[in-house]
């Protein structure tokens, strides 16, 4: 599988480590009401879609960046690759 | 007072020339990593420009100081690896003094073993153990990748000359992988 890294171009999947569902970026606010339930869902509950899936991939043998890779679990086609830092910053993180 | 110990190169300054391809341990460089403080990109870039007369390297690339003595390799968007002339002792103190309080500097010299691969068959030898398309790499280009499961910085110094940096703790395994691949293509 080839992942088209936004900065570095097409790279072999062997350079990466896959971390699973990209929803891990959305860590709940520990001070919010219902935080325990939110953290339970965050830590343990995952969708298992047949089709489009957003995943975190770590470029361990490369520039050490985290990527959000949107791919199909049915065909392995990769639809989109983003820098995870850009995704997180767009959500207002890093303030 | 006890005698001071003298550091030896990790591979004893190993060299091998197979005709069409050759490998030699690089023992005359110092390495310092330069990390960018959060929001401090411009200050660091300005300091590098003032001290070495060059910009920070772009992704997949390097940048060379105006006097040719320092090469900066892109490692991540917030970090660069500086390859400097070898010095006795620490290079990081010189870099910190030269650039000032605009980055986080870490001595890396002892962490990396350097190999220089050269010759007409250098690409043939290296592409067998590396997932990158080395033929399309431009001179002055640099990448971080794997060779035989070992992490490697590879920099194309010339058409037929590459600088390889890998972890010094696995220096002999790395040399073995590179040398075996070279023997397999000659």
Superfamily of A2-7+17-26+39-90 according to CATH: Folate-binding superfamily (3.30.2270.10)
Instruction: Please report the number of interchain residue pairs, chain A to chain B, with beta-carbon separation below 8 angstroms.
Output: 32
Q: Does A65 touch chain B (CB under 8 A)?
A: yes
**A45-52 contacts: CB < 8 A, separation 24 or more?**
A46/A20, A46/A21, A47/A21, A47/A23, A49/A73, A50/A74, A52/A79
The Cα–Cα gap between B121 and B60 comes to 23
Q: Does A9 touch chain B (CB under 8 A)?
A: yes
Tens digits of residue pLDDT in B102-137: 999 999 999 999 999 999 999 999 999 999 999 999
Instruction: Tell me what pLDDT residue B4 has.
Output: 82
A9, A15, A65 ranked by CB distance to B76: nearest: A65
Pick the CATH number of B15-27+111-185 from 1.10.10.10, 3.30.720.210, 3.30.1360.120, 3.30.342.10: 3.30.1360.120
List per-block mean pLDDT (blocks of 10 residues) for chain A, which spans 95 residues: 94 93 92 95 92 96 95 94 93 75
Sign of the Cα pseudo-torsion (B132, B107, B23, B116, in order): positive
Instruction: Tell me what pLDDT residue A35 has.
Output: 95
Residue whose C-alpha is closest to residue B48's, from B76, B21, B82: B82
Instruction: Tell me what pLDDT residue B6 has.
Output: 81
Instruction: Tell me what pLDDT residue B21 has.
Output: 97
Which of B33, B60, B79, B138 is best to mutate for the A interface (most A CBs within 10 A)? B60
Instruction: Tell me what pLDDT residue A95 has.
Output: 62
Q: How far is B75 from chain A (nearest CA, A)?
A: 6
Superfamily of B29-109 according to CATH: Heterotetrameric sarcosine oxidase (3.30.70.1520)
Asked if the Cβ–Cβ distance from A63 to B145 is below 8 Å, we say no
Determine contact, residues B14/B25, Cβ cutoff 8 Å.
yes
| Nearby residues of A61 by Cβ (< 8 Å), 6 or more positions away | A14, A15, A16, B144, B145, B146, B151
Q: Which segments in chain B show pLDDT lower than 70?
A: 1
Determine contact, residues A68/A20, Cβ cutoff 8 Å.
no
Quick one: tokens of B64?
Answer: 């060379």
User: Considering only alpha carbons, which residue of chain B is nearest residue A9?
Assistant: B60
Ranges of each domain in chain A: 2-7+17-26+39-90
The Cα–Cα gap between B123 and B134 comes to 6
The Cα–Cα gap between A73 and A14 comes to 18
Asked if the Cβ–Cβ distance from A8 to B59 is below 8 Å, we say yes
Ranges of each domain in chain B: 15-27+111-185, 29-109
- Local structure of A42: helix, strand or coil: helix
């Amino acid at each position: 599988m080839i992942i088209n890294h936004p900065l570095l171009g097409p790279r072999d999947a062997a350079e990466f480590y896959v971390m699973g569902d990209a929803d891990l970026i959305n860590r709940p606010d520990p001070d919010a009401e219902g935080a325990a339930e939110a953290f339970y869902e965050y830590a343990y509950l995952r969708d298992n879609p047949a089709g489009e899936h957003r995943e975190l991939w770590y470029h361990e043998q490369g520039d050490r960046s985290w990527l959000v890779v949107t791919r199909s679990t049915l065909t392995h086609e990769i639809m989109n690759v983003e820098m995870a830092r850009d995704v997180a910053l767009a959500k207002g993180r890093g303030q | 007072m006890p005698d001071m110990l003298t550091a030896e190169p990790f591979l004893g300054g190993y060299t091998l020339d197979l005709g069409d391809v050759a490998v030699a341990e690089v023992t005359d460089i110092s390495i310092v990593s330069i990390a960018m403080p959060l929001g401090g990109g411009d200050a660091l870039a300005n300091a590098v420009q003032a001290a070495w007369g060059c910009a920070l390297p772009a992704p997949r690339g390097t940048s060379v100081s105006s006097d040719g003595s320092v090469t900066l390799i892109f490692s991540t968007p917030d970090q660069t690896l500086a390859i400097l002339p070898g010095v006795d002792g620490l290079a990081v103190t010189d870099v910190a003094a030269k650039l000032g309080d605009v980055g986080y500097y870490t001595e890396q010299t002892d962490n990396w073993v350097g190999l220089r691969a050269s010759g007409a068959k250098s690409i043939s030898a290296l592409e067998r153990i590396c997932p990158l398309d080395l033929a399309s790499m431009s001179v002055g280009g640099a990448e971080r990748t794997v060779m035989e499961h070992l992490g490697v910085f590879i920099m194309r110094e010339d058409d037929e000359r590459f600088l390889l940096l890998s972890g010094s703790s696995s220096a002999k395994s790395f040399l073995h992988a590179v040398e075996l691949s070279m023997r397999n293509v000659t």
